[in-house]
Chain A
Amino acid sequence: MSQLTVNNLACVRGDRLLFKNMSFALSAGELLYVRGENGAGKSSLLRILSGMLIPEQGSVLWDGRDVINGNEQYRLDSLFISHLNGLKDDLTLVENLRFSSYLATQSSQASQISDALGAVKLEAYAHERVGSLSQGQRRRISLARLWLSRARLWLLDEPFSALDVASVDLLAKRLQQHLQDGGMAILTTHQHVDIQAAVVHELKIAR
C-alpha cells in the first residue's frame, strides 16, 4: 500500500520562514486537512508536495522514494489542482480535458471525457469554448479532472471555492469515493465540508 511520508520539512518564501520541522505521514484511505491563516503557507506546502517547489529543508517520500527532483512514479500517482484552473479560453471543454488527461495519464478516451463532464453536470457545454463560461463552471471543468484521474494521491488547493452548494456536494461525494477506494487526499479549505473517511487528519500551520 502506498504511503506519503513528510520529514522535517521547512519552507522559506522571500524573507519569511513559513514553517519548519513539519513531519507527517499519510496512508491509503486517509484524508488530511491543511489549515491556517492566509499566507501561512498552505499553498506552498501543496506546491512542495506536488514537486513544483523545492523545500528549504526536509524530504518528501512516496513509498520510501524521494519525490523532490523528479520521481516518475510519483508524478503518475499524484494529482494537483491549484487555485488556477489551467484552462484555455480558446479551446472547448472537451479539448481542454483531452489535453490535461493526456498529460496526466497518457491517454484520453472520448467516452471517459464525456462521462467526466456529465459528472460535473456540464455535458451540455461540451463543445463550447471555455471563454464563455462562468467562474463556477470553470472551476467545475477543472475539477472534472478528478473523474478522469487514476492518481492515488490528490492535492487540492481550495477545491470548494466558487462552487455552488450542489457542486460542493458532488465533489465531497467524489472525494469520499476516492478515499473508500484506498486513495489519499490532502486539501486546504476555508469552508466546512463533511467528508467521510476512515482517518481524518488535521494539520494547522501556525505563524
Chain B
Amino acid sequence: MSAINWFKYAAPQTFYPLAGRLIPWLYVIATLLALAGIYISFVIAPTDFQQGEAYRIIFVHVPAAWMSMVIYLAMAFWAAIGLVFNTRLSSMMAQALAPTGALFTLLALVTGSLWGRPTWGTWWVWDARLTSELILLFLYIGFIALRASIDSPQRADRATAVLAIVGAVNVPIIYFSVRWWNTLHQGASINMSSAPKMAVTMLTGMLIMALASWVYSIAVTFVRVRCIILERERHAGWVRQLEEVKS
C-alpha cells in the first residue's frame, strides 16, 4: 500500500530529523531569493513616473499580502486534515503556520499604511484591500487566542481546526462583502492594484520576493513544528534519545 509511506512521513519522529536537515537549505534559498528580489526591485526596476521611489514598497507589501492569504488557506487545510484523519503532525503544522501568517498580515497592513502616507497623504485609507487584511488579522488572532485558551493540546487542535475551516469558508465572503461595501462608499477609496502600471521587471521582482517569503515561511514553520514536537512528545522514548535533548 502506498498510503503507508505517507503516514511514515506524517509521524513526528520521522519528520523531526528530516525537517532539521532541510531547514538550513531553506534558509539559504530564502536568503538568495530575497537578495535577488531586493536587487531587482531597488536597482533594476525603474522609478515610477507618478509615485517616484515610494512605490517600491509594493515589493514587500504585495508578497506579504499574498502570503497572508496563502498561509491562512494552508493553515485551514492542515487543520482540516488533522481533524479528519487525526494525524498529529498536520495539526502541529497548522499551529506552527498561524504566527507566520499573522506576521505577514501585519506586515501587509504596516507597509500598506506606509505606502499610503507619501502617496495619498494619509496613514490609513478604508480601502477594500487594507480592510480585508485587517479582518484577516482578526481571524488569525481568533485562531491563536482560541488555542491559547484551551489547555489540552489535542482538544485545541480540533477546536482550532473547526474555527479555521469556518474561517476559510468565510474568507471569500468577507472579501466580496468588503469590496461591495467599498464600491458603495467611493469617498476615500484608492485602488492600489492599478496604481503603478505593472512593468515586467516589477512583476518579476514581486514574484521573486513572493517566492523568498514562501521559502522563508516554510523554514520558520519547520523550526516551529520541531519545537512543538519536542514540547508535545517530551515523554516519548525517541525524543529522550535525541542528542540535543540529552545535553
Interface residues of chain A, those whose CB is within 8 Å of chain B, are 13-15, 17, 54
Contact across chains for B235 and A15 when beta carbons are under 8 A apart = yes
For B82-106 the 0/1 string (1 means CB < 8 A from A) is: 0000100000000000000000000
Contact across chains for B235 and A14 when beta carbons are under 8 A apart = no
A116 to B86, CA, bound (A): 42
Please name all residues of chain B whose beta carbon is closer than 8 Å to the beta carbon of A17 when the two chains form the complex. 235
- Interface residue B151 (Cβ < 8 Å from any Cβ of A): yes
A13 to B155, CA, bound (A): 10
- Interface residue B152 (Cβ < 8 Å from any Cβ of A): yes
A14 to B155, CA, bound (A): 10
Please name all residues of chain B whose beta carbon is closer than 8 Å to the beta carbon of A54 when the two chains form the complex. 86
In the complex, the 6 A-B pairs of residues with the closest C-beta atoms, listed nearest first: A14-B152, A15-B235, A14-B151, A13-B152, A17-B235, A54-B86
With both beta carbons as reference points, the residue of chain B lying nearest to A54 in the complex is identified as B86
Interface residues of chain B, those whose CB is within 8 Å of chain A, are 86, 151-152, 235
A54 to B86, CA, bound (A): 10
Chief secondary structure at chain A's binding surface: loop
A26 to B86, CA, bound (A): 29
With both beta carbons as reference points, the residue of chain B lying nearest to A14 in the complex is identified as B152
Please name all residues of chain A whose beta carbon is closer than 8 Å to the beta carbon of B235 when the two chains form the complex. 15, 17
With both beta carbons as reference points, the residue of chain B lying nearest to A15 in the complex is identified as B235
A15 to B151, CA, bound (A): 11
User: Separation in Å of the B86 CB from the closest CB of chain A?
Assistant: 8
User: Separation in Å of the B82 CB from the closest CB of chain A?
Assistant: 13
User: Separation in Å of the B174 CB from the closest CB of chain A?
Assistant: 33
User: Separation in Å of the A52 CB from the closest CB of chain B?
Assistant: 12
* 6 CB < 8 A contacts A-B: A13-B152, A14-B151, A14-B152, A15-B235, A17-B235, A54-B86
Please name all residues of chain B whose beta carbon is closer than 8 Å to the beta carbon of A14 when the two chains form the complex. 151-152
A15 to B233, CA, bound (A): 9
A54 to B151, CA, bound (A): 17
Please name all residues of chain B whose beta carbon is closer than 8 Å to the beta carbon of A15 when the two chains form the complex. 235
User: Separation in Å of the B28 CB from the closest CB of chain A?
Assistant: 37
A4 to B29, CA, bound (A): 56
With both beta carbons as reference points, the residue of chain B lying nearest to A56 in the complex is identified as B154
Please name all residues of chain A whose beta carbon is closer than 8 Å to the beta carbon of B152 when the two chains form the complex. 13-14
A13 to B235, CA, bound (A): 13
Please name all residues of chain A whose beta carbon is closer than 8 Å to the beta carbon of B151 when the two chains form the complex. 14
With both beta carbons as reference points, the residue of chain A lying nearest to B234 in the complex is identified as A15
A15 to B86, CA, bound (A): 18
User: Separation in Å of the B180 CB from the closest CB of chain A?
Assistant: 40
User: Separation in Å of the B234 CB from the closest CB of chain A?
Assistant: 8
With both beta carbons as reference points, the residue of chain A lying nearest to B235 in the complex is identified as A15
Please name all residues of chain B whose beta carbon is closer than 8 Å to the beta carbon of A13 when the two chains form the complex. 152
User: Separation in Å of the B84 CB from the closest CB of chain A?
Assistant: 11
User: Separation in Å of the B98 CB from the closest CB of chain A?
Assistant: 22
User: Separation in Å of the B51 CB from the closest CB of chain A?
Assistant: 55
A6 to B78, CA, bound (A): 31
With both beta carbons as reference points, the residue of chain A lying nearest to B153 in the complex is identified as A14
With both beta carbons as reference points, the residue of chain A lying nearest to B158 in the complex is identified as A54
A89 to B245, CA, bound (A): 53
User: Separation in Å of the A1 CB from the closest CB of chain B?
Assistant: 32
Please name all residues of chain A whose beta carbon is closer than 8 Å to the beta carbon of B86 when the two chains form the complex. 54
A65 to B46, CA, bound (A): 69
User: Separation in Å of the B161 CB from the closest CB of chain A?
Assistant: 14
With both beta carbons as reference points, the residue of chain A lying nearest to B232 in the complex is identified as A15
User: Separation in Å of the A167 CB from the closest CB of chain B?
Assistant: 36
